[in-house]
A and B are shown apart, each in its own frame.
Chain A
Amino acid sequence: MRANPYLFAAYFATWTIHITYLGIIASRYAKLKREVNDLKQD
Chain B
Amino acid sequence: MKKLFPILGILSGILLSYALYQGLVVAPTEQTMGNVQRIFYYHVPSAWTAFILFFVNFGASIAYLIKRRPAADMVALVSAEVGVVFCTVVLVTGPIWARPVWGIWWTWDMRLTSTLVLWLIYVSYLFLRRFSSSGETPVLAASLAVLGALCVPFVYFSIWFFRTQHPQPVMGGGGSIDPRMLHALLVNWLAFSCFAFLICWSRYRLEKFEREVDHAHAMRSLRDPATNIEREPYSERRA
Interface size on A, residues (CB 8 A): 22
Q: B213 near A10 (CB under 8 angstroms)?
A: no
The answer to whether residues A14 and B206 also contact, given A6-B97, A39-B217 and a CB cut-off of 8 A, is no
Q: How far is the CA of A29 from the CA of B217 in the complex (A)?
A: 17
Q: CB-CB < 8 A to B36: which residues of A?
A: 4, 6-7
Q: CB-CB < 8 A to A18: which residues of B?
A: 85, 89, 195, 199
Interface size on B, residues (CB 8 A): 32
User: Who on chain A is nearest to B40 by CB?
Assistant: A10
Pick from B35, B93, B227: contact of A14, CB under 8 Å: B93
Given A4-B38, A7-B36, A14-B46, output 12 extra A-B contacts at Cβ < 8 Å.
Answer: A1-B25, A7-B39, A10-B96, A11-B39, A17-B88, A18-B85, A18-B199, A22-B199, A22-B202, A28-B210, A29-B209, A39-B220
The answer to whether residues A17 and B92 also contact, given A6-B99, A10-B39 and a CB cut-off of 8 A, is yes
Name A's interface SS: helix
User: Does any Cβ of A come within 8 Å of B100's Cβ?
Assistant: yes
Instruction: Determine how close the nearest CB of chain A comes to the CB of B149; give it in whole angstroms.
Output: 22
User: Does any Cβ of A come within 8 Å of B34's Cβ?
Assistant: yes
